[in-house]
Structure 1
């Protein structure tokens, strides 16, 4: 990470022909830094830490993104688009159960690829209106997907959309705990949950292997230790 924050550039403070280009460069540096930090540490990273990582002053960051919600909205806009696309793709599948399984696997894979996105899926951000709008769009598509999978006889009647929310929260915890020691553990969790949700006799994807005992032990030990730099991330 950048050790010291650079002062605001003159173009950031004064009007002139270079303002737009410099401002856009600063914006992209901020977004890139936020993506890196959110992906590795989650959404608890402070705005001050992001400014240092980007090599800009706090005033520059606040001019580009006045609140954490604005920054989160900008960073995760493309991922929320992908989330909504996963829902649309699942609905387009002629086999409702196959579409449902693919949706669950795709969303959980997005969580595994980006810890920040794992937090986004498990939290709400009323001030980030564009992000919430895409989440609502995906949510209504999910309700239709659930109804179709139940009508096809492969998803248990007592399944509710809250069960998926529970899985996403659990998956976020598994990802955070096992990211270094056993990064594919989330696949096992998802496979077991699909088995719990399916009606008897339903075709299921192969179950991922359980993590090795030594890897799982390392992950459990990691849970008892503070994350490196966690204090700095939450100034």
Structure 2
């Protein structure tokens, strides 16, 4: 009987942890990173003590909530570095990062936030991804494809603008993000070549 009880408790603990993470992701996306632990506990239908039992600090919860997305972001940058054409690799990273951020505003806010050093397993991965982006930038400049005055902060500006997209559905956010990425990439080129843009998405201020 004690073994069965122990198994049930472990199962309940896993369920609680998964629910807390899901609620935290949704809360950070909807209301920003300032959502208090007590509110996350209320939405997850557990007590604050249960949240702290799984995540000793809010920073630990934040890092765990977006660990998978951060790993995907690093994978995207590595894929860009593997491309033979430096400009194509750079473009792929910009397009995919902006799409990823459009799909998950909570991750976008965390990525762009000035997080405390204690969120090591998120900030270290983010810094690693940005260092890889710098290598992409160097290659694209050496190839004469990327304008020489481009700096990585210009990509951060594009991501910040992308995070501000407001649309009625995830599909519309992605569509708007793809068009914004195309506009940004044309502005980043050393010798811009006019090309058709992806279709426009209907946004709150669209002309009807």
TM-score category, normalised to shorter length: 0.7 to 0.9
Cα displacement (A) at 1:208: 2.0
Say yes or no: does 1:157 pair with 2:145. Answer: no
Could you tell me which of 58, 72, 78 is aligned with 1:88? 78
Please report how far the alpha carbon of residue 201 of structure 1 lies from its aligned counterpart in structure 2 after TM superposition.
Answer: 5.2
1:72-221 superposed matches below 5 A: 72-125=62-115, 126-174=117-165, 177-180=166-169, 182-183=172-173, 184-200=175-191, 202=193, 206-212=196-202, 215-217=203-205
Match of 1:24 in 2: 14
Change (3 A) 1:203 1:144: farther
The question of whether the paired residues in 1 share the 8 Å contact of 2:21 and 2:65 is answered with yes
8 Å CA contact retained: 2:63, 2:121 = yes
How far off is 1:52 after superposition?
1.8
- DSSP-derived class of the 1:17 partner: helix
Which residue of 32, 36, 48 maps to 2:26?
A: 36
Query: Counterparts of 1:203 and 1:68 in 2: how far apart (Å)?
Result: 46
Distance across 2 between alignment mates of 1:98 and 1:155:
11
Task: Name 1:58's counterpart in structure 2.
Answer: 48
Q: How far apart are the structure 2 equivalents of 1:56 and 1:31?
A: 12
CA distance, structure 2, for counterparts of residue 211 and residue 81 of structure 1: 29
- Match of 1:43, SS state, is coil
Contact 2:147 2:191 in 1 (8 A): no
Aligned residues: 199
Change (3 A) 1:71 1:142: same
Describe the shift of the 1:40–1:218 C-alpha distance in structure 2 as closer, same or farther (beyond 3 A): farther
Work out whether residues 186 and 192 of structure 2, in 8 Å CA contact, stay in contact via their aligned partners in 1.
no
Is this contact kept in 2: 1:111–1:117, CA < 8 A? yes
- CA-based RMSD: 2.3
> Gaps spanning 5+ residues in structure 2: where?
none
When the two structures are superposed, what TM-score results if normalisation uses the length of structure 2?
0.86
8 Å Cα contact 1:121/1:168 also seen in 2: no
Per-residue CA distance 1:171-230 (angstroms, 9 max, x = gap): 1112xx3355952222222211111111225586x4123345xx44279xxxxxxxxxxx
